[in-house]
């Protein structure tokens, strides 16, 4: 039996309906904040992702040669494609450009809880603006999205990559080795960082002060301890967020994010319920366009890990009510089947979602099917009632049955739905 490839998933109707419901919430929030949707191809020139993340990214990519011997890769994320799209097609549009996207991304790695080879990201980018308010807008949007899902327990942590970068430069780390140090700090691997820093001639005191800075975590009051321009910037971001009602946040200078391309503010949201794979959202301000052949343009963006966010909702016991259909049309006897088809068609034309038995089932079996299809009403078509221009309308929840004129059927169902 052929299965779906390892690390990928099939979404059956119940699961799919639930996913679309939550996707709709994110979509609605993005639109309310003035973002508009874009879409890019599932695969790109591999070079795009190498330029963004360095050649090491190849290990994790679904990369292959097409029949024209071009190296292409399934997208591992969507910021690089969106910025490529901006450079190709949107660079002359009025700034800022606020776009959102939702779709599959791909990473070749060991599948585990909350980590799939095909996964879904919902993200947003604000392109062409570099103000504290831009950063606040991105964070406020992300925060509103998580709230719109109904997620209760999550932590929003905001940092600034400039603080650590400045300190690292000040204590004598050469520019080309900054990434190496940041990587260790990102994972709080101080014991591994010590010999590296020592090798660069960094003093023990400077090292410990650097680690302490990385551990600067707390409410917005810790901003008083954040030095220089980065501190001023973050204080402005936080004051805008406060005005926008986003106050459930922490300052954490240890938020480094894996990637080299962030230039200033960085932020993450995590859902503690998820354990080791708890990060459900991440973003920050960056420049990428100049790497893809465009002018240098400052942007701020983020992405919500859709699968993990849904997993977090599940762990919180968040429940979702399935939709079902309005009506299921079934026949008392075979001679009314054509008429039943006509009735189903008239319901659908009136906007009533209706299914119909076309497997010639007996009534009891057909009613059972109507129930499994979560129909709110069964429309029972019988020869005797038809003579009077009527059918029997059965409320599937209560079992109550009433005789209804065919012409009044759609109206009766729509009215009941409104209550």
Is residue 364 at the binding interface for a copy of itself, with CB under 8 A as the rule?
Answer: no
Is residue 378 at the binding interface for a copy of itself, with CB under 8 A as the rule?
Answer: no
Binding residue for a copy of itself, selected from 155, 194, 315, 348, defined by CB under 8 A? 348
Is residue 307 at the binding interface for a copy of itself, with CB under 8 A as the rule?
Answer: no
Residues forming beta bridges with residue 123, ordered by sequence position: 101, 303
- Cα torsion through 364, 367, 369, 374, rounded to 10: -160
Is residue 399 at the binding interface for a copy of itself, with CB under 8 A as the rule?
Answer: no
Binding residue for a copy of itself, selected from 169, 179, 198, 373, defined by CB under 8 A? 373
Binding residue for a copy of itself, selected from 196, 325, 363, 414, defined by CB under 8 A? 325
Size of the site for a copy of itself (CB under 8 A): 98
In the region spanning residues 171 to 230, those forming contacts with a copy of itself, defined by CB under 8 A, are none
Query: What's the Rg (C-alpha) of the chain?
Result: 28
Is residue 112 at the binding interface for a copy of itself, with CB under 8 A as the rule?
Answer: no
Starting at the earlier edge strand, list the strands of the sheet with 71-74: 43-45, 71-74, 63-65
What is the closest distance, in whole angstroms, from the C-beta atom of residue 180 to a copy of itself in the complex? 26
What is the closest distance, in whole angstroms, from the C-beta atom of residue 72 to a copy of itself in the complex? 6
Looking at beta carbons only, is 137 or 270 nearer to a copy of itself? 137
Is residue 148 at the binding interface for a copy of itself, with CB under 8 A as the rule?
Answer: no
Strands 354-356 and 327-331: parallel
d(CA 18, CA 298): 36
The residues near 23 (Cβ < 8 Å, ≥ 6 apart) are: 102, 122, 306
Is residue 334 at the binding interface for a copy of itself, with CB under 8 A as the rule?
Answer: no
Is residue 74 at the binding interface for a copy of itself, with CB under 8 A as the rule?
Answer: yes
Element (H, E) at 252: strand 249-252
Binding residue for a copy of itself, selected from 228, 245, 258, 389, defined by CB under 8 A? 245
Is residue 386 at the binding interface for a copy of itself, with CB under 8 A as the rule?
Answer: no
As a whole number of Å, the end-to-end CA separation of the chain is: 47
d(CA 20, CA 27): 10
Element (H, E) at 126: strand 118-127
Is residue 110 at the binding interface for a copy of itself, with CB under 8 A as the rule?
Answer: no
What is the x/- site pattern for a copy of itself, positions 20-39, by CB under 8 A? x----------xxxx-xxxx
Is residue 48 at the binding interface for a copy of itself, with CB under 8 A as the rule?
Answer: yes
DSSP string, 264-316: EEEEEEE-GGGGGG-EEEEEEEEE-GGGGTS---EEEEEEEEHHHHHHHHHHT
Is residue 150 at the binding interface for a copy of itself, with CB under 8 A as the rule?
Answer: no
Pick from 80, 78, 81, 76: which is nearest to 63 by CA?
Answer: 76
Is residue 12 at the binding interface for a copy of itself, with CB under 8 A as the rule?
Answer: yes
Binding residue for a copy of itself, selected from 259, 266, 281, 352, defined by CB under 8 A? 352
3-state secondary structure at position 258 = coil
Binding residue for a copy of itself, selected from 54, 89, 219, 290, defined by CB under 8 A? 89
Binding residue for a copy of itself, selected from 54, 65, 112, 201, defined by CB under 8 A? 65
Is residue 158 at the binding interface for a copy of itself, with CB under 8 A as the rule?
Answer: no
């Amino acid at each position: 039996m052929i299965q779906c490839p390892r690390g990928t998933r099939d979404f059956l109707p119940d699961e799919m309906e639930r996913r679309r419901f939550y996707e709709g919430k994110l979509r609605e929030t993005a639109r309310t904040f003035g973002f508009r949707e874009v879409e890019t191809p599932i695969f790109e020139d591999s070079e795009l992702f190498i330029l963004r993340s360095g050649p090491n990214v190849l290990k994790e990519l679904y990369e292959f040669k097409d029949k024209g011997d071009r190296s292409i890769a399934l997208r591992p994320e969507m910021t690089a494609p969106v910025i490529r799209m901006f450079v190709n097609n949107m660079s002359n549009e009025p700034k800022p450009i606020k776009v959102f996207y939702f779709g599959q991304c791909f990473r070749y790695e060991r599948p585990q809880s909350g980590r799939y080879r095909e996964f879904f990201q919902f993200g947003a980018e604000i392109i062409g603006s570099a103000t504290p308010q831009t950063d606040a807008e991105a964070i406020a949007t992300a925060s509103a999205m998580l709230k719109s899902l109904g997620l209760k327990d999550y932590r929003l942590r905001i940092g600034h990559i400039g603080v650590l970068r400045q300190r690292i430069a000040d204590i004598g780390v050469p520019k080309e080795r900054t990434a190496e140090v940041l990587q260790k700090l990102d994972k709080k691997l101080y014991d591994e960082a010590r010999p590296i820093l020592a090798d660069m001639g960094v003093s023990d005191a400077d090292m410990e002060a650097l680690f302490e800075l990385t551990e600067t975590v707390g409410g917005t009051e810790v901003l008083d301890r954040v030095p220089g321009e980065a501190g001023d910037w973050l204080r402005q971001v936080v004051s805008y967020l406060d005005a926008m009602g986003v106050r459930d946040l922490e300052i954490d200078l240890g938020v480094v994010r894996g990637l080299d391309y962030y230039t200033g503010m960085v932020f993450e949201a995590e859902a503690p319920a998820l354990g080791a794979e708890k990060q459900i959202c991440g973003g920050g301000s960056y420049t990428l366009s100049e790497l893809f052949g465009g002018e240098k343009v400052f942007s701020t963006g983020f992405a919500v890990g859709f699968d993990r966010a849904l997993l977090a909702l599940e762990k919180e016991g968040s429940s979702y009510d399935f939709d079902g259909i309005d009506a299921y049309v079934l026949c008392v006897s075979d001679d009314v089947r054509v008429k039943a088809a006509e009735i189903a068609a008239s319901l659908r034309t009136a906007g009533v979602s209706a299914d119909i038995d076309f497997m010639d089932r007996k009534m009891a079996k057909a009613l059972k099917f109507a129930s499994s299809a979560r129909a709110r009403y069964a429309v029972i078509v019988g020869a005797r009632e038809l003579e009077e221009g009527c059918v029997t309308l059965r409320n599937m929840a209560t079992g109550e049955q009433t005789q209804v004129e065919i012409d009044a059927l759609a109206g009766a169902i729509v009215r009941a739905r409104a209550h």
